[in-house]
Chains A and B, each alone.
Chain A
Amino acid sequence: MPRRPARPSFALALNLTSLLAFLAASLPLFYLLRRALDAQISEIALILFRGKTLEILATTLGLTAAVTACASLIGVALAWMLFNIDFPFKSGLQALVILPVAIPSYVFAYSWILLIPGFKGFWAALFVLVLATTPYVTLTTLAALRRSDWSTYEVSQTLGLNGWQIFARVTWPQIKNSVAAGSLLSSLYVLSDFGAIALLGVDTLTRAIENIYRGSFDRSSASILALILVAISALLIRLEERSRQKLNIVKSSARIITKGVTTGKLRIKLIALLAINTYLALGLVIPISQLLSIFFANSTSINYSLLSKASLSTLLAACLGALIALALALPVGVLSAQGSKLGKVSDKAILIVHALPGIVMGLALVSFGSSIGWLYQSLLLLSFAYALLFMAKAVGSVRSSVARVPENLIEISATLGQKKSATFRRVVIPLATPGLLSGTLLVLLAAMKELPATLMLKPIGFETLATQMWSYTSIFRFNEAAPYALLLVLVAAIPTFLINRPDKGDGLGGDRI
């Protein structure tokens, strides 16, 4: 790319914010290193080389790989069907398959335990986590399909390729990068998940870390295990990055593509509908109906004022967190898309810490924030924690949607007398908006159900739906917790439906993520 002189203050602002994001992301890493260094060398060796650690490591890697593989497969299949086959209420279905993201993994696990006595172990965790993380792949893949070049499908049909060949040779190369990005999110989710893992009794690194904190308050050995987690996530990020290809899709037409191959065959339609509805039944209907049945089994009067206050608080903190995440991820994504070193490094740092369990992030921020009296346990710090925990979910889509803004439009804006900052505001951001929104939405959804860091960092008396739910489940009043869980899903559904509307396309072809 030719070097173009930028207005220094704008470039400076981008770089400074990106640096801030980098520092914020490395905060937990510094914290872990500091705590890990408290440990004796012999202690470190004991933790690292005992048989159980290796066993835990194997379970962690195995579960992550299995969940990622299954979620990718199912996610791509769902997206492909929802794009290529005409259904009634198609855009509704497209939003519904994303919605399981809003259900906390422990709610998933719990509803299945209630349904099937003795539901636990590796396979149970695999099942639940696949249901929970498939939407990340579905969302990114659907977005990629929507912006893939329509004419290539038509051409390949005329070249005599059948459906499968078209997918393998034409579709897959165009969506590969997005599938990889979604799979990365899914694998990082598995690495950091505690809720489902603990209920289903699978020994992963995150559970081991939690157990050490709970049992022995031994922060240094927990930190060592957390650093192993960081190393695994760094490895995964490297893998994803290597699979990411420079892919410039040149659209031959500027028309919006919203419809896929309208496969008319009734048999295929029915099979696809069955598959999609099976996923929805397992991932959405069963957890929600379990919640409903718990709620009605022992119906208690609902404290509506508490419920509405908690919903507002949840939205407030999560929205603030999502906005901070966007504000930090945007410059990182922009710089990273431009190939700047700082941008790329910050990008990776943000992704790496995404694999850390909430308790580690919470404690890192406690350690950092408790010395700053006015900030500590304020709404601001809580939102910042959300941003830190989940901006990885936004940074990828920010990066790719910014990179996808055609360079020539940026140039034209410059020749029309617009400074870089003005071009950014008037051209880059509006064109990248669908991607920015869906990234921000993922942060929002994740922040709404966050628990461990919320408990540590929320202002006293500030209750979110998740903390209220926890305060009841921790004393086994599941029926009182159920309305909060239901409301969480309901509140989350609003932005999901608002954003996942392919018919409201932008000029870039219903571009998302």
Chain B
Amino acid sequence: MRTKRVRPIALPIALILSASLLAGCAPQEDAGLVIYSGRSESLISPFLNEFTALTGIKPDVRYGDSAALAAQLLEEGHNSPADLFISQDAGALGAISEAGLFATLDDAILNRVEEKFRSSRLDWVGISGRVRVLAYSPERVKNLPTSIDQLTSPDYRGRIGIAPTNASFQAFITALILSRGESAAGNWLEKLKANAVKLYERNSQIVAAIDAGEIDLGLVNHYYIWEVSKALGREIAVANGFFAPGDTGNMINVAGVGILSTSSKKGSASELLAFLLSEAVQRGFLEDTHEYSLVLKDANPQGLPPLSQIPAPRVDLSLLANLSKTQALLMKVGLI
């Protein structure tokens, strides 16, 4: 019986050769407008294609998680190849802004949105709005709590879900610290924890858990009901609720964009930014992702009040970047 032997050298060499050939053949296009996008491809690329058709500018997009991309931008510092950073939450934008890596934006762009939805340093601007809500099971929760403080009452023991590692929850806690002070916020978290709150990794898991009857209420963003029901391919038994007007539980966060100060294509970058704030694109956001438009103030995602009627508290989104205090607090309480 003759056994077949492996040719040890030939295979790797063939692989290396073919690989380097492939790598070499891939044309190194003249680098276009480089975008780091925390917004996923299917949600943004149709608009970018429109932009290319309109202007002839072809963006090269690196997709990733907003926070990971922010960490990457911070690590790259002034060597960053990126021209534009699209983030899904204000915190990541704030971190880049704080590190001084964003360029100041033109007034024409900044003025497209309300002051409260852009950076106080004038170096990033919101492109869509996302509202914190209380998701609940209409079947099992008849009287909605009017304040986040009621969530710590024994009535809700073991019935609430939160996602404490999630950026949106941490932004909410940051806002809570800003409005009430650290010790009061800590106090609330302690009581929430003592009330056997259930911890999840993602907002969508909370919504799914309410639907499945695991829990009855959850602190999430407004569009997750729609997302989960779409993913499951059916209606789900979860509704969005709001607390009393001005309660931090109703805060509005934004997804936004900033232009890197090291960019050599600030002109094209500004063009794109203006495009993203155009009416057509804003309407697209509204319909495709059920987010709020920051430009079309009276338009609203299906089944929700318009942005202007959200009983939201006043929060300076520029301050949301400073999450280290928030994390320290969450760590101290033992939620993360």
Whether B40 lies near A471 (C-beta < 8 A) is yes
Residue in B62, B227, B230 with the greatest tally of chain A CB atoms within 10 Å: B62
By beta carbon, the residue of chain A nearest B91 is: A215
Q: Which residues of A contact B62 (CB under 8 A)?
A: 377, 455, 458, 460
**Contact of A319 with B334 at beta-carbon distance under 8 Å, contacts A198-B201, A298-B233 already known:** no
Bound Cα distance A224, B227 (Å): 37
Question: What residues of chain B have their CB less than 8 Å away from a CB belonging to chain A?
Answer: 3-6, 8-9, 12, 15-16, 19, 22-23, 26, 34, 40-43, 60-65, 67-68, 70-72, 74-77, 79-81, 91-92, 95, 165, 167, 170, 199-201, 204, 209, 212, 214, 227-228, 230-231, 233, 321, 323-324, 326-328, 331-332, 334, 336
Q: Which residues of B contact A505 (CB under 8 A)?
A: 3
Query: Does residue A88 face the partner (Cβ distance < 8 Å to B)?
Result: no
Q: Is the interface of B mostly helix, strand, loop or mixed?
A: helix
Q: Which residues of A contact B231 (CB under 8 A)?
A: 476-478
Bound Cα distance A401, B251 (Å): 61
Bound Cα distance A207, B209 (Å): 22
Among A159-167, A242-250, A359-367, the stretch in contact with B = A359-367
Whether A430 lies near B72 (C-beta < 8 A) is no
Which residue from A52, A363, A504 sits with its C-beta under 8 Å from B3?
Answer: A504
By beta carbon, the residue of chain B nearest A430 is: B8
Q: Which residues of A contact B227 (CB under 8 A)?
A: 475-476
Q: Which residues of A contact B76 (CB under 8 A)?
A: 366-367, 370
B-contact bits for A207-233, CB 8 A (1 contact / 0 none): 110011111111100000000000000
Whether A430 lies near B5 (C-beta < 8 A) is yes
Bound Cα distance A210, B170 (Å): 14
Task: Kindly provide the distance from the CB of A35 to the nearest chain B CB, expressed in whole angstroms.
Answer: 9
Whether B75 lies near A215 (C-beta < 8 A) is no
Q: Which residues of A contact B5 (CB under 8 A)?
A: 430, 506
8 nearest A-B pairs in the assembled complex, by CB-CB distance: A214-B67, A476-B231, A370-B76, A370-B79, A460-B60, A216-B324, A216-B323, A217-B95
Whether A475 lies near B165 (C-beta < 8 A) is no
Q: Which residues of A contact B204 (CB under 8 A)?
A: 476
Q: Which residues of A contact B26 (CB under 8 A)?
A: 379, 459
Query: Does residue A260 face the partner (Cβ distance < 8 Å to B)?
Result: no
Task: Kindly provide the distance from the CB of B233 to the nearest chain A CB, expressed in whole angstroms.
Answer: 5
Whether A319 lies near B19 (C-beta < 8 A) is yes
Whether B80 lies near A370 (C-beta < 8 A) is yes
Query: Does residue A241 face the partner (Cβ distance < 8 Å to B)?
Result: no
**Subset of 18 A-B contacts with CB under 8 Å:** A52-B331, A117-B214, A207-B165, A214-B71, A215-B165, A217-B92, A219-B74, A298-B233, A320-B15, A323-B19, A326-B12, A359-B68, A376-B81, A437-B6, A460-B60, A460-B61, A474-B65, A475-B43
Which residue from A52, A215, A362, A472 sits with its C-beta under 8 Å from B170?
Answer: A215
Which residue from B15, B23, B77, B326 sits with its C-beta under 8 Å from A215?
Answer: B326
By beta carbon, the residue of chain B nearest A434 is: B6
Q: Which residues of B contact A213 (CB under 8 A)?
A: 67-68, 71
By beta carbon, the residue of chain B nearest A198 is: B201
Whether A477 lies near B42 (C-beta < 8 A) is yes
Q: Which residues of A contact B332 (CB under 8 A)?
A: 50, 52
Query: Does residue A419 face the partner (Cβ distance < 8 Å to B)?
Result: no
Task: Kindly provide the distance from the CB of B132 to the nearest chain A CB, expressed in whole angstroms.
Answer: 16
Number of A positions contacting B (CB below 8 A) = 67
Query: Does residue A2 face the partner (Cβ distance < 8 Å to B)?
Result: no
Q: Which residues of A contact B41 (CB under 8 A)?
A: 471
Task: Kindly provide the distance from the CB of A324 to the nearest chain B CB, expressed in whole angstroms.
Answer: 9
Query: Does residue A433 face the partner (Cβ distance < 8 Å to B)?
Result: yes
Interface residues of A in 361-389 (CB under 8 A from B): 362-363, 366-367, 370-371, 373, 376-377, 379-380
By beta carbon, the residue of chain A nearest B228 is: A476
By beta carbon, the residue of chain B nearest A374 is: B28
Bound Cα distance A461, B28 (Å): 12
Task: Kindly provide the distance from the CB of B321 to the nearest chain A CB, expressed in whole angstroms.
Answer: 8
Query: Does residue A201 face the partner (Cβ distance < 8 Å to B)?
Result: yes
B-contact bits for A235-268, CB 8 A (1 contact / 0 none): 0000000000000000000001000000000000
Q: Which residues of B contact A51 (CB under 8 A)?
A: 334
Q: In the complex, given contacts A211-B336, A359-B68, A376-B79, what are 8 additional A-B residue pairs having Cβ atoms less than 8 angstroms apart?
A: A208-B336, A215-B327, A217-B67, A323-B16, A370-B79, A377-B81, A460-B61, A471-B40
Query: Does residue A23 face the partner (Cβ distance < 8 Å to B)?
Result: no
